[in-house]
């Protein structure tokens, strides 16, 4: 799948795309939904440097939903056409561009459904040790990609403030719950994936075809109220602790742009169960994607990086998530969103949430301002960033996903 669009020597006539520090060189070409500042209709765009290309005007594709419904072969053709347009100037092509500073970036599309997985064995083990030190991983974890059905209506584009939720918590063991603003508010560093064109009810997507239905990825912050989660999760899992807000970055980094960063999934340790046939894939089905969390309190001028992790360490791949999601015949639709679950690693600086980072608040995080954080405070801003790099290829970025915590309503 590597072709001329991945050539590291390829440059664009949009000069800012050729800068070494650009997230959006011509080798990336991520999609977004935007509107020019004011009241104009929304448009489908492609980022190139500090500009956005109007895809509707250039290629007559009006919206992200239409793009996601296309078969992968046509999405590949569209990427090649966009690369050709942006690598060799033709008269009038500059009129298809708008500075990013002059647009509002919106949710990529209407999201029909949202499912969040739990695919990092490091995260599952770290959290399990906090609550079940003698049995951190439950018996099914190494057999199936665990997930819960999230709430699409509360997915928001990065930059949208996040209101601290209220809910039921138990302050001391054995006491009755109280209803009040949540104290143990957390972020979760995740990778999201947008899906399409989807399958019919009752017809599973086979693992060999799963990537045909992965349009691209984004940054995802699965905000979590840990005190609500502890009380409500037995026996049916997360509910109000998760569905009050999920932030995603506006850019959809296509699977085609990620091709140079493929790698084998981690080898399964001796003693782990063999994959069942519907989850067994061959080849390089994982991706090297570096993900970071940055945090800024209301007293800080600049954010500080608090963690960095690698998506290639996940126990379950995106293709396995898609195959498992549909293995019972569940239909997926264009624009469906899945989350990877918190992306964590074995070391403290690899841990993708404060629950892990601070060991449930017992080892607070020290900030340059002299403050400490066990969990998030009002006014804190969380910034997710990501990028891919590999020898012989151009570095590409995922942009940012930001969210600031607002006080709970009275």
User: Structure tokens of 352?
Assistant: 């993708």
201 contact partners, CB below 8 Å, separation of at least 6: 329, 330, 331
> Are the C-beta atoms of 44 and 64 separated by less than 8 Å?
yes
CB atoms within 10 A of CB 134: 6
Extract the tokens encoding 158: 């990065």
DSSP 32-101: EEEEETTTPPPEEEEEETTEEEEHHHHH----HHHHHTS-HHHHHHHHHHHHHHHHS--TTGGGGEEEGG
How far apart CA 316 and CA 116 sit, in angstroms, is 13
Buried b (16+ CB within 10 A) or exposed e, 57-93: ebbebebbbbbbbbebeebbebbeebbebbbeeeeee
- DSSP at 242: T
Structure tokens at 143: 């057999």
Residue the block writes with tokens 């009038």: 92
- In whole angstroms, how far apart are CA 46 and each of 54, 63, 327? 7, 12, 33
How many helical (H) and strand (E) elements, i.e. helices and strands, does the chain have?
A: 7, 26
End-to-end CA distance of the chain: 54
Element (H, E) at 352: none
Cis peptide before 197 (omega within 30 of 0): yes
The catalytic position among 6, 122, 123, 324 is 123
Q: Is 123 a catalytic residue?
A: yes
**Which sequence positions are flagged as catalytic?**
123
């Amino acid at each position: 799948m590597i072709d001329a669009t991945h050539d590291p020597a390829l440059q664009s006539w949009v000069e800012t795309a050729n800068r070494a520090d650009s997230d959006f060189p011509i080798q990336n070409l991520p999609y977004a939904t935007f509107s020019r500042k004011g009241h104009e209709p929304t448009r489908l765009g492609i980022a190139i440097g500090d500009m956005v290309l109007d895809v509707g005007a250039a290629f007559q594709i009006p919206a992200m939903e239409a793009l996601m419904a296309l078969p992968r072969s046509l999405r590949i053709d569209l990427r090649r056409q966009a690369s050709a347009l942006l690598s060799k100037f033709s008269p009038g092509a500059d009129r298809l561009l708008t500075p990013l500073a002059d647009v509002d970036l919106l949710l990529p599309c209407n999201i029909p459904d949202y499912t969040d997985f739990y695919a990092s064995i490091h995260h599952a083990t770290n959290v399990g040790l906090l609550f079940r030190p003698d049995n951190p991983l439950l018996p099914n974890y190494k057999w199936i990609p665990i997930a819960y059905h999230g709430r699409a209506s509360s997915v928001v584009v990065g930059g949208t403030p996040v209101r601290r939720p209220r809910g039921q918590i138990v302050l001391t063991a054995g006491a009755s719950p109280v209803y009040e603003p949540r104290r143990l508010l957390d972020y979760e560093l995740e990778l999201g994936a947008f899906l399409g064109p989807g399958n019919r009810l009752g017809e599973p997507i086979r693992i060999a075809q799963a990537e045909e239905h992965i349009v691209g990825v984004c940054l995802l912050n699965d905000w979590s109220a840990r005190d609500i989660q502890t009380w409500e999760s037995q026996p049916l899992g997360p509910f109000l602790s998760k569905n009050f807000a999920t932030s995603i970055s506006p850019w959809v980094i296509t699977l085609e742009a990620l091709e140079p960063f493929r790698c084998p999934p981690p080898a399964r340790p001796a003693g782990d169960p063999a994959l069942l046939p519907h989850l067994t894939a061959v080849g390089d089905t994982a991706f090297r994607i570096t993900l970071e969390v940055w945090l800024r309190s209301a007293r800080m001028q600049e954010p500080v990086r608090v963690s960095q992790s690698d998506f290639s360490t996940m126990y379950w791949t995106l293709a396995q998530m898609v195959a498992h999601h549909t293995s019972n015949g569940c239909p997926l639709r264009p624009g469906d969103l899945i989350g990877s679950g918190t992306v964590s690693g074995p070391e403290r600086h690899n841990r993708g949430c404060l629950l892990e980072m601070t060991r449930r608040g017992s080892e607070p995080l020290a900030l340059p301002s002299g403050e400490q954080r066990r969990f998030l405070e009002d006014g804190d801003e969380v910034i997710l960033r990501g990028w891919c790099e590999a020898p012989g290829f151009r570095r590409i970025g995922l942009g940012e996903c930001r969210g600031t915590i607002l006080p709970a309503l009275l």
